[in-house]
Amino acid sequence: MAKPHAAAIVEDRWNRAKAGLLTRRGWGAQVVPYPGYGSATQARVLARLLLSKRPDATEPDEVSELVRSRAFSGRRGWRSFVSAPAVNVPVSVTVGERTVHTRTDRSGLLDVTVTDHGMPPGWQPVRITAPGTQEAEAHVRIVADDVTFGIVSDIDDTVIRTMLPRPMIAAWNTFLVNEGGRTAVPGMATMYRELLEEHPGAPIVYVSTGAWNVVPPLTRFLRDKGFPAGPLLMTDWGPTNTGWFRSGRDHKRACLHRLARELPSIEWVLVGDDGQHDPAIYGEFAEQRPERVRAIAIRRLSATEQLLSHFTPLAQDELGSARRKLDTVPICRASDGYGLLRLLKVALGRLPIPSDVVVEE
């Protein structure tokens, strides 16, 4: 095995020192469950273990969901990064008829695939336990074998309006913006709901280069803005075993190909924006796996959004050389979800093609 990058070694030492100090002060591990996904044969369970001052604390039953939502709306994102990861902790995961044992990674993440679980399609509960913690319940979306439609969606500038330079988006959304202060892109929630209603049992998966720490506030944001529930496949900031930072492009590519392998019957509608690399990533994937892509939908940023995104009023990234080979994959472009929905209904054969609608192909 190659020697870890120096930055990763420093980060690991810092995390161990921080964990040792907090443990001596009585802090313990707490499971933060994330939504997962799976098929009839396997389920991907996601969670994170963090050190908490009160790992056994629970909210009173009389606290209503509405009150909790209002309280969460005032949180700033930096609070998601206060707790330290619980590293290399043994964890038991029970999925349907199977129980597997694993450990958290160097960032406290639990990412385990359980086979032969025996669970039916739909959202299903799974149990996660670790020494000294209360049992936690996560949920996975089991997709039936006969489902052939699904949606993959980017987050920043696709479902959330950022209006910031790309280098600042992650830090701003994570550390400064109140959870209730984020703004949804008009029509995107409507588009997703209508497409999924037309395809019962179809999944939606959100893929982002944001950190795993922000899954809980992002989940609340999506729920409060009317977006369909789905797994959030994030990455992690900071050093890796090979360098200082993770590659956002590589993360999205890996997620797309993994979804294609694990849910092989699904043809995906890939939704992103033209402010960065989504068109190129989606075009590359469609070129490599055209049978797995039903359509590509790109939210067209305004000139102001483009200028704020990367200091030029023009779209930075196009489909590139793959465009010439995507003769079987419709490509839709519009400035919001309402426009994309209209084009997608044409591209997916739900509506006849009117004279004023153009769908690239």
Per-residue pLDDT of 278-297, as tens digits, reads 999 999 999 999 999 999 99
215 and 121 part of one domain: no
Q: How far apart are CA 331 and CA 323, in angstroms?
A: 9
Residues 181 and 250 placed together within one structural domain of the fold? yes
Which amino acid would we find at residue 18?
A: K
Give the residue with greater pLDDT, 119 vs 174: 119
Confidence of residue 78 (pLDDT cuts 50, 70, 90): very low
- Domain shared by 20 and 161, yes or no: no
Residues 99 and 180 in one domain: no
Q: Give the CATH number for residue 286.
A: 3.40.50.1000
Residue 249: pLDDT band with limits 50, 70, 90: confident
Torsion region of 96: left, alpha or beta (phi above 0 gives left; psi -120 to 50 gives alpha): left
Task: Report which of residues 22 and 126 the model is more confident about.
Answer: 126
Q: Tell me what pLDDT residue 18 has.
A: 63
Average the pLDDT over each of 76-80, 217-221, 281-285 and give the range with the smallest value: 76-80
pLDDT beyond 50 at 222: yes
Do 104 and 31 share a structural domain? yes
Most confident of 166-175, 260-269, 320-329: 260-269
Q: State whether 299 and 340 are in the same domain.
A: yes
Does the residue 359 lie in any domain?
Answer: no
Summarize the confidence of residues 317-330 as an average pLDDT: 60
Shared domain for 319 and 334, answered yes or no, is yes
Given a cut of 90, whether residue 73 has pLDDT beyond it is no
Q: In this structure, which amino acid lies at residue 356?
A: D
Which of 53-57, 71-75, 157-161, 265-269 holds the top average pLDDT? 265-269
pLDDT in tens, 87-119: 889 999 999 989 999 999 888 999 999 999 999
Based on DSSP, count helices (H) and strands (E) in the chain, helices before strands: 9, 16
Residue 71's pLDDT band, with cuts at 50, 70 and 90, is very low
User: Is pLDDT of 58 > 70?
Assistant: no
Domains identified in the chain, total number: 2
Residue 356 lies in a domain: no
Structural domain of 309: 149-347
Residue 210 has pLDDT above 90, yes or no: no
Which of the listed residues 83, 114, 142 is the one where a domain comes to its end?
Answer: 142
Q: For the residues 179-192, what does the mean pLDDT come to? A: 86
- Which of 114-128, 164-178, 235-249 is the least confident region? 164-178
| 99/215 same-domain check | no
What's the whole-model pTM score? Answer: 0.82
**Do 183 and 115 share a structural domain?**
no
Q: Give percent of the chain with pLDDT exceeding 90.
A: 51
Residues 250-267 have a mean pLDDT of 96
Asked which of 92, 113, 142 is the last residue of a domain, the reply is 142
Task: With a cut of 80, say whether residue 195 has pLDDT above it.
Answer: yes
* Residue 239: closest CA among 10, 3, 2: 10
Of 173-187, 249-263, 301-315, which has the strongest mean pLDDT?
249-263
Tell me what the mean pLDDT of segment 49-56 comes to. Answer: 72
Among 89, 116, 142, the domain-final residue is: 142
**What does the block give as tokens for 15?**
């995390």
Count, residues in the chain: 361
For residue 119, what pLDDT is reported? Answer: 96
The Cβ of residue 156 has, within 10 Å, a number of other Cβ atoms equal to 21
Question: Is 1's pLDDT higher than 80?
Answer: no
72 vs 34, higher pLDDT:
34
Bigger pLDDT: 104 vs 247: 104
Return the pLDDT at 76.
46
Task: Answer whether residue 152 shows pLDDT above 90.
Answer: yes
C-alpha to C-alpha distance for 35 and 232, rounded to whole angstroms: 7
Average pLDDT, the chain: 79
Residue 153 sits in the same domain as residue 68: no
Bigger pLDDT: 249 or 94? 94
**d(Cα 244, Cα 268) in Å, to the nearest integer?**
32
In a domain, 81, yes or no: yes
Distance CA 171, CA 138 (A): 28
CATH number at residue 87: 2.60.40.10
Burial class (CB in 10 A: 0-12, 13-18, 19+), 50: buried
Are 136 and 264 within one domain? Answer: no
